Every structure is written in C-alpha cells, then in structure tokens.
Amino acid sequence: MSAAPHHSLLDLVRRANGFSLATEEDIIYPTRAERVGWSLQATDNVIIGYIQPEVRRHLSAHPEVFEVQEHCVRIHSSLTTADARTEAVERVLLEFRNESSRDHPLFGCLHGWRNERYDVHNGKGVYMRVERAAAGLLGVRSYGCHLNGYVRDPATGAIKMWIARRSATKQTYPNMLDNLVGGGLAAGVHPYKNIIKECHEEAGLDPATVKAGLRSVGAISFFLDDAKRGWVPDTEYVYDMELSTHFAPRAVDGEVQAFYLMDLDTVQAHLHRGEFMPESGLVIIEFLIRFGVITASNEPDYVEIIMGMHRKLRAPGPRFTA
C-alpha cells in the first residue's frame, strides 16, 4: 500500500496561488512574443480580469461585446450601463455553454451554471455582474464566506472543529472536506447577511444563535489556477463561532453529506493529506495561526504562509457599508 501524500502548509498555500505573480506580470507587461494571456479591462482601462489565449480566440468572434486588442481585451464601449454589460456578456457565455460539451477543456465549467452572479467592480462601483460558473473563464474576482465552527472542552479548554464533507454531487470539489459553513457571495449581498443565510442552509444554525455568537475575523485572498474552474482571483470573508458542546449540525440544503467533530491534530493531518478544498484549507490554516497552534517556532515557512494567504489582487473589489 502506498503512503498517503504529505503536503506542507506552504504547499497548500502555493497550490491555492497557482496563478503566479510572474504570470500576472507577464500578462500586464508582456516581454515575450508568445503571450500567456491578456488582461480584461473595463472601458475606463481598469483591469477587471484575465483572459487565456484560447478564450481570447473565442471572444474575438463577438466584437460587439469584447474588443480584442493587441495588448488587452476590453468590454465594448457601446455598452454603457452595468445591466447592458451584464446581459451582453451573459449572452456570449450562454452561447459557449450551449455549443460545448460538459468535458470541454475550456467551457466545461459553464455546465455547472448556477444562475447566480458575482459583482465585478471597477473602482467606482459595480461595473457588471458575471455568472458564478464563468468567473474563472474571464478571470474576474470571486467571493465567498466561510465559518470556522468550533467547540471548547469545558474541563481542559481543548478546541475541536466541526468539519463538513461536501456532497458527492457538488459542482466543485465533490467529497472533499470543508469548513462547517462556506458559500459563494452573490452579487449585491453583504457578507454578514450571506454567512447567516449559509449557516442555516448548510448546518441548520438558527439565525438568532448565529447573530449572537458570530465573529468577523478578517479575510483571505489568493489566485487559483485550476484546470476546471480557470483563473480565479478569490477573496473569502472569514468568521468564527464558538458553539455549544451540545450542538450537532444538520444539512438543510443537501450540499453536505457528513459532519465530523475533529481535534486540531486530526484537522492538521487531513490538511497535510490535501483533503480540504483550497479555500477552506487556507481558512483553517489561518484559524490555526490565530489560535496559536501554528507559530513561527514550529513552522519554518510561517511568514511566507501568512503572506500567501493575503495575495494582493489587482482588480478592484467591493466596498461594503453597514
């Protein structure tokens, strides 16, 4: 029997940041004749995404929506409102979906169409909205919310985490381990309201209980390069909640097949075996750092890990108000 794979924590961070800084720089400031990609720009020249060469070729067939130029791809200047841009881009994406197979190397992601959009920002507000399944195809920013649900032993103070196993039918990362609660942040929704909704749908947590115990503890960001999802610059809003020792989660929406209450050594063992989806793996690493489990004394890559979980993303993001 072969040994189980062992991934360092830095390996996991680097895997989540598979779209390297060097690749990003090469796209924005090309120095080679063979291009690795092009920036997707708003009509005011702000970078809002990244386009792979083969995607660019397909976009060039729709000049009324995408202006394919030598140094970038730009949303057509005739589309003057967020709604007009949203509708025009979605028509093209639906055409790609309808004309491709589920195993198409570029457009297979579109067969996981969710009828849920992400906001795309240009620094002045919402520039347009893009179907969630297509975000990686256009390299636009994705957003989500994750909850670390944990319990503390009243006698010893030892912490255990509630861990979910994703449904076998999930469109992304089926059967992999996940946070107790996690979900995408749809267009126009505030992260706080989103995590409350997700807590009920994914773990059966009562909204009043969540509001009383929820703590916002920050955000992580990274830039995924995934064969199925595409180029995904991602931001995840992170929350903690200490739960009663009597609490037992239950899946309401069918997106989770099982829950496990794990001590932190077991959680780390699953991390090192690469059993968590990328986003939740980073969220849990960040939790273990904040709770003093991972420190500069026991993790030689401590600083690089922290920096890698807070990648600076070039495209503008949202600015929420209460």
The DSSP code for 154 is: T
Q: For position 4, what pLDDT does the model report?
A: 66
CATH assignment of the domain containing 222? 3.90.79.10
| Beta carbons of 151 and 144 less than 8 angstroms apart | no
Is there a domain that residue 28 lies in? no
Domain of residue 156 covers 9-14+142-308
Number of domains in the chain: 2
Is there a domain that residue 278 lies in? yes
Instruction: Determine how many CB atoms are found less than 10 A away from the CB of residue 138.
Output: 23
DSSP 132-186: GGGHHHHT--EEEEEEEEEEE-TTT--EEEEEEEE-TT-SSSTT-EEESEEEE--
Of 117, 138, 159, which closes a domain?
138
Same domain, 169 and 114: no
How much is the pTM?
A: 0.95
CA-nearest of 292, 289, 270 to 281 is: 270
Is there a domain that residue 313 lies in? no
Q: For position 3, what pLDDT does the model report?
A: 61
Same domain, 165 and 201: yes
Is there a domain that residue 70 lies in? yes
Q: For position 311, what pLDDT does the model report?
A: 97
Instruction: Determine how many CB atoms are found less than 10 A away from the CB of residue 223.
Output: 23
Of 109, 138, 167, which closes a domain?
138
DSSP 95-140: HHHHTS-TT-TTTGGGGG--S-EEEEE-SSSEEEEEEGGGHHHHT-
Same domain, 191 and 134: no
Same domain, 259 and 298: yes
CATH assignment of the domain containing 55? 3.30.750.160
Same domain, 87 and 152: no
Same domain, 219 and 111: no
Q: Which residues of the chain have pLDDT under 50?
A: 1
Same domain, 160 and 82: no
Same domain, 132 and 221: no
Same domain, 100 and 125: yes
Q: What is the pLDDT of residues 81-120, one digit of tens each?
A: 999 999 999 999 999 999 988 888 899 999 999 999 999 9
Q: For position 1, what pLDDT does the model report?
A: 46
Is there a domain that residue 124 lies in? yes
Element (H, E) at 73: strand 72-75
What is the rounded CA–CA span in Å between residue 315 and residue 72? Answer: 14
Instruction: Determine how many CB atoms are found less than 10 A away from the CB of residue 215.
Output: 11
Is there a domain that residue 316 lies in? no
Is there a domain that residue 21 lies in? no
Q: For position 143, what pLDDT does the model report?
A: 98
Dihedral sign, CA of 143, 144, 145, 148?
Answer: negative
Of 95, 110, 138, which closes a domain?
138
What is the rounded CA–CA span in Å between residue 178 and residue 175? Answer: 9
What is the rounded CA–CA span in Å between residue 75 and residue 68? Answer: 9
Same domain, 151 and 133: no
Same domain, 121 and 241: no
Q: Kind of pairing, strands 142-152 and 230-242?
A: parallel
Is there a domain that residue 20 lies in? no
β-pair partners for 207: none
What is the rounded CA–CA span in Å between residue 219 and residue 145? Answer: 9
Q: For position 266, what pLDDT does the model report?
A: 98
Instruction: Determine how many CB atoms are found less than 10 A away from the CB of residue 121.
Output: 20
Same domain, 92 and 155: no
